[in-house]
Structure 1
Amino acid sequence: MKFVIDGVRYHVDKCGNGYPLVALHGFTGSGETWRPFCDEWKDHSTLIMLDIIGHGQSDSPTDLERYKIENVACDLIKILDKLEINQVDLLGYSMGGRLALTFAMLYPHRVRKLVLESATPGIEKPQHQEERRLKDEKLADFIKKEGVESFINFWESIPLFESLTKLPEDKKESLRMQRLKNNQKGLINCLLGMGTGSQPSWWADLHQLRCDVLLITGNQDKKFCNIAEKMTFHLKNVDWQVIEDCGHINHVEKSEIFGTIVSEFLSNTY
């Protein structure tokens, strides 16, 4: 399906016959990353797989304002309105988790349950936020100078994704192909517009969330385990699940365990 929101075309796929579940992928990904869960979740969820702006088959506009995370959350509201969906469960991985949390903070009445995989509420201290924004600018400049394939080669080599080396070759190749389908302009503008250094920090507002929240991290991803642990002290209705022998991309590295954890949470058998 295609939805045009204020001149930007979004690509959306659906599967399943249950409560609407919007799934948001990470940076360099696409909605295709969630397709393996269609069969497992079909009885309790209608899985709505969105290509975030600048990714996959969605448009990559030149206007940087369109990529601000609050504006992308607003686009998502308009997509749900077009689908005539009032309230959803929301699942987000990494960048998609930051978008999911932003959506839940801005439109709490539209969220029943929230699943955050390897995600952060942002950066608390302005100085550290500015440092991250400058790092994102350097990454964007790298993409501009070297192109998408060179950037993906670099991106796959950073310590955050070290655990992916243990994946079967077919899974590694599928993940790489998804990443390579993205375009230069979209990735650059996502880094500049909705990078962690550019988004608001939600740390001080987490206590306001009333929906049930599930946090998922891999035990080898120490940075995001520390973030998740800290989040548990701020959220009222939260559970945190740590997947063993797993890094940053839980839904790819340990898809069966991840799928079961999410399914039990969403179907109230948790």
Structure 2
Amino acid sequence: MDFATNPADGTRIAFQVVGSGPPLLLVHGSLLTHTIWRTFGYVKALRPSRTLILVDMRGHGRSDKPHEIEAYTMDSIVGDLVAVLDAVGVPSADYWGYSYGARAGLTLAARAPEKVTKLISGGGSHGPQKGAFDRLFFPGCADVLADRGMDGFIEEWNKHRLFPVDAATRAVFSANDSDAMAAYFRASDAEPGLSDADLRGLKIPSLFYVGSQDTTRLDDTASAAALVKNSELHTIRGFDHSTTPAASAEVLAVVEPFLKH
């Protein structure tokens, strides 16, 4: 792994570059790391034609893990992503993010549009995030993280899921710093999100996708796609928020043609 430093606060962000071709920045969801793109086959499929920039978001993976709530503002996240692109030496890149990564990508595109050439947003939301993690996981999830750690979080989450937590997701979640994740959850809860006008102002080619069973993000994704001019919207049938990333064949079937044109 290599590291980029956000000049605003000195946080180090871990990243890895693989493949060859036009750059594509891949950004994971909450509680995951860059390895999720390998686990579900995206790296294998994309690296022959793309230079993949795989990022561990702050608080995740091998990146720094501050415990302060104020460290996880979207301004800081955007600064991290710009720092990674600068460290790689590319002025702009195509962007693909899922969930947290999708929200970060929409914000990056709105605030630094010169950095994003195409945008792929999976299971994301641009609106206010108050209560979002309680709806996505379970009520009081930040408190469970702080009080019972990651094992307690996974145990509680399993009680609220359509499918049990798979082994790969469990392994990645268990490696997290629960205090950092609790701070991130609480910071996210205070995020105002982007305005509808911000999305109407996006002028880059954009694709949105979401699982048909993703009750937390189905409407959010459709609303965002409706605001972005000439964007594509795809529904991945039979999957919810946590299982859509594993549907790599179905997801790649809609994303790869978009990346090629």
TM-score for the superposition, normalised by structure 2: 0.88
Supply the AA of the counterpart residue of 1:89. Answer: D
1:43 aligns with 2:36: no
Alignment correspondent of 2:23: 20
Distance 1:57 1:86, change over 3 A: same
**Conserved 8 A contact 2:4-2:83:** no
2: CA distance between counterparts of 1:156 and 1:24? 25
- Give the 3-state SS of the residue equivalent to 1:15 in structure 2: strand
Name the structure where helix makes up a greater proportion of residues. Answer: 1
Supply the AA of the counterpart residue of 1:10. Answer: I
**Structure 1 residues 239-258: Cα deviation after superposition (integer angstroms, max 9, x where no partner):** 00111111114553311111
Question: Across the two proteins, how many residue pairs are aligned to each other?
Answer: 254
1:230 aligns with 2:223: yes
Runs of 4+ more than 6 Å apart? 133-137
- Give the 3-state SS of the residue equivalent to 2:217 in structure 1: helix
1: CA distance between counterparts of 2:46 and 2:35? 15
- The range that moved more, 211-220 or 62-71, is 62-71
2: CA distance between counterparts of 1:261 and 1:105? 24
- Give the 3-state SS of the residue equivalent to 2:224 in structure 1: helix
**Conserved 8 A contact 1:53-1:186:** no
1:265 aligns with 2:235: no
- Alpha-carbon distance, 1:47 to partner: 1.3
Distance 1:131 1:24, change over 3 A: closer
2: CA distance between counterparts of 1:173 and 1:94? 20
- Give the 3-state SS of the residue equivalent to 1:18 in structure 2: coil
**Structure 1 residues 41-70: Cα deviation after superposition (integer angstroms, max 9, x where no partner):** 123321111110011111111343321012
Supply the AA of the counterpart residue of 1:247. Answer: D
Distance 1:15 1:134, change over 3 A: closer
- Alpha-carbon distance, 1:132 to partner: 5.4
- Structure 1 segment 238-253 matched on structure 2, within 5 A: 238-249=231-242, 251-253=244-246
- Give the 3-state SS of the residue equivalent to 1:233 in structure 2: helix
**Conserved 8 A contact 1:132-1:197:** no
Alignment correspondent of 2:109: 104
**Conserved 8 A contact 1:53-1:59:** yes
1: CA distance between counterparts of 2:100 and 2:119? 15
2: CA distance between counterparts of 1:181 and 1:199? 29
2: CA distance between counterparts of 1:57 and 1:113? 27
- Alpha-carbon distance, 1:213 to partner: 0.8
**Conserved 8 A contact 2:11-2:64:** yes
1: CA distance between counterparts of 2:130 and 2:215? 23
Give the RMSD, CA atoms, in angstroms.
2.3
1: CA distance between counterparts of 2:242 and 2:119? 18
- Structure 1 segment 121-140 matched on structure 2, within 5 A: 121-123=126-128, 138-140=140-142
- Alpha-carbon distance, 1:233 to partner: 2.4
1:32 aligns with 2:26: no
Structure 1 residue ranges without an equivalent (≥5): 124-128
Alignment correspondent of 2:156: 154
1:174 aligns with 2:174: no
TM-score for the superposition, normalised by structure 1: 0.86
Alignment correspondent of 1:4: 5
Task: Pick from 244, 247, 257 the counterpart of residue 254 of structure 1.
Answer: 247
- Alpha-carbon distance, 1:102 to partner: 0.7
**Conserved 8 A contact 1:92-1:116:** yes
Supply the AA of the counterpart residue of 2:148. Answer: E
Task: Pick from 51, 67, 90 the counterpart of residue 85 of structure 1.
Answer: 90
Report the identity percentage. Answer: 26
Alignment correspondent of 1:126: none
